[in-house]
Structure formats: C-alpha cells, structure tokens
Structure 1
Amino acid sequence: MFGTLLFLHLTGLIIWLGALFAIVVMLFMLRKQLGSQEPNKMAKRIIRSFSMFAHPSAVIVLISGVIMIIQMGMGSGKPIWLNVMEKGGGTIILLALILTGILGSKIKKRLSTAEQPQQVKLSGYLVSLSSMIVLALSVVLIVSLKI
C-alpha cells in the first residue's frame, strides 16, 4: 500500500509541477502578443487546459502525502525533513491551489474583456506560479537530502 501511495505521490508531483511549468513557459512566450482576440483566447485555453492537470494532481499529492504520514506513525519524534515535508509541503500545496485558482480566474476574466494590450498583465500570475514551483522544489530538495 505504501508503495502505491508513494507512486501516486511522485506521479502527482511530476504532473503538478510540469503543468505549472508549462503554463509559465507558454504564457511568458505569449505575453507580448496579448491584447488581440486570438492570443487572448489561446492564453485562456492554456490556463484552463493545464489547470485541469495541475489542480487534481496537487490534490492527489496532498492526499497521498497525508495518508503516508499517517501510516508512518512516528508521533512527535519526527526528523526535521519529515516535518518540512508534512507542514511545509502541505501548506505550499494548499496555498498554490487557492492562489492559482483565484489568480487564474481573474486572468481569464481580464483576457475575455481586454481590448488593449496594456490591460492584460500576466506578471503577477507568472511570478506566483514560479514561486510555487520554487517552493515545491525546495521541499523536494530538503526531503531528498533528508536534512
């Protein structure tokens, strides 16, 4: 059972971070063309399509991680890396789900109503997605090194 959960956890992590990275790269490349109808539609489609992978896989990472922590049953004598994985990883996933969901819907609304290129700013959304990627990878590094 633990092996299956670990597989789900790592697969979900790969899909989640890959989807976030794809959104960042594609929107970064597309940002200069935004303002006309076709690039705006494409940006909305990119956000919607990759969010369909990112959000469910983040939930899978969270649920499988919680179940694995419960199964370990270490109590209060957990090493630091396990505390970082449990508390830091869970917080980052919840924050990412909430933040990317809210900001993604705001960006999609702006892309739907934008008539001039200056009205659509993706920098805040791209920075928040990039920050979530860096934070998640930081947790993976700490857990991998077992600091």
Structure 2
Amino acid sequence: MFGFLLFLHLAGLMVWLGALLAVVVILPMLYKQSGAATAHANPFASRIIRVFGMLAHPAAAIVLISGVFMIIDMDLGQDKPLWLEIMEKGGGTVILLALAWTGILGRKARKRLIAAAGQAVTLTGYRTASASIMVLILSIVLIVSLKI
C-alpha cells in the first residue's frame, strides 16, 4: 500500500510542478508576442489559467492526501526526524497555501481577462504567485531529499 501511495504522491507532485512551470513559462511568452509587458485579453490566456487550475489543484490535493496517508502508515509517533516534520507540516502548509493563493489569483485574473475585452491586462501577480509556490515546493523537496 505504501508503494502505491508513494507513486500517487510523486505523480501528483510532477503534475503539480509541471502545471506551475507551464504557467510561469507560457504567460511571459504571450507578453512577448504582444510586444508589451501586458497580456491582451484573449481566450488563450484565460484558457491557460483554467487548464492550470484543472490540473494543478487536483494534483496538489492528491499530494496532500497521499502524504497524510503515508505518514499515518509510517506510524513513527513522536520520534520523527526533522526532515519528516518539515515535510509533514511545511509541505501541508505549502499545499493549502498554494490551493488558496493560486485559486483566488487565478479566478481574479480570468475575470480581468474576460472583462478587458481586448485591452491589456497585467498578470504579474499570478505569475509571481505561481513561481513562488514552485520555489517553496522545490525547497521542501530538497530538504526531504537531503534528509536534513
């Protein structure tokens, strides 16, 4: 059972990071294509954000749920190493923060893109949030990998 949970955990993490990376890479390409530091309201930018939410949010939930079940399955009690404490508490906090933060900012960005009707819309806050979440996720993965 633990092996299947680990598979779900790692697969969810890959999909989640992949979706974040896609947003961080593709949205600036839209800016360069329009020749300005803003994205013109088009269905493509809105669709990118919607697809990101459809991929990243369930993947993050899978990472959280599989992680909780793996920690329960380990049954270490109070004698957990520091890296496992960081993974448990820090990882859970990052996932919940990411779900709320990117969900709210993504919804606001999509509303602005839809309401703009061809005008320029800045999405730097959404991109910055996505990049920040990526850095936090990779920090947790580094700590767990090094077993600090």
TM range, normalised to the smaller chain? over 0.9
Backbone CA RMSD of aligned residues: 1.0
Which residue number in structure 2 is paired with residue 113 of structure 1?
A: 115
Which residue number in structure 2 is paired with residue 21 of structure 1?
A: 21
Corresponding residue pairs, total = 142
Counterparts of 2:105 and 2:112, CA distance in 1? 10
Which residue number in structure 2 is paired with residue 89 of structure 1?
A: 91
Which sections of structure 2, spanning at least 5 residues, go unmatched? Answer: none
Is the contact between residue 82 and residue 143 of structure 1 (CA under 8 Å) also seen in structure 2?
Answer: yes
Counterparts of 1:76 and 1:114, CA distance in 2? 53
In the TM superposition, residue 31 of structure 1 has moved relative to its aligned partner by 2.5
Is the contact between residue 19 and residue 50 of structure 1 (CA under 8 Å) also seen in structure 2?
Answer: yes
Counterparts of 1:76 and 1:142, CA distance in 2? 20
Q: How does 1:1-147 map to 2 (within 5 A)?
A: 1-32=1-32, 33=34, 34-35=39-40, 37=41, 40-115=42-117, 116-117=119-120, 120-147=121-148
Q: TM-score, normalised by structure 1?
A: 0.93
> What are the superposed Cα offsets for residues 78-108 of structure 1, whole Å, 9 maximum, x if unpaired?
1100000000000000000000100000000
Which sections of structure 1, spanning at least 5 residues, go unmatched? Answer: none
Is the contact between residue 8 and residue 60 of structure 1 (CA under 8 Å) also seen in structure 2?
Answer: yes
3-state SS in 2 of match to 1:112: helix
Counterparts of 1:49 and 1:124, CA distance in 2? 18
Is the contact between residue 100 and residue 128 of structure 1 (CA under 8 Å) also seen in structure 2?
Answer: yes
Is the contact between residue 31 and residue 122 of structure 1 (CA under 8 Å) also seen in structure 2?
Answer: no
In the TM superposition, residue 77 of structure 1 has moved relative to its aligned partner by 1.3
In the TM superposition, residue 121 of structure 1 has moved relative to its aligned partner by 1.3
* AA of the residue aligned to 1:112: I
Q: Percent identity?
A: 64
Q: TM-score, normalised by structure 2?
A: 0.92
In the TM superposition, residue 28 of structure 1 has moved relative to its aligned partner by 1.3
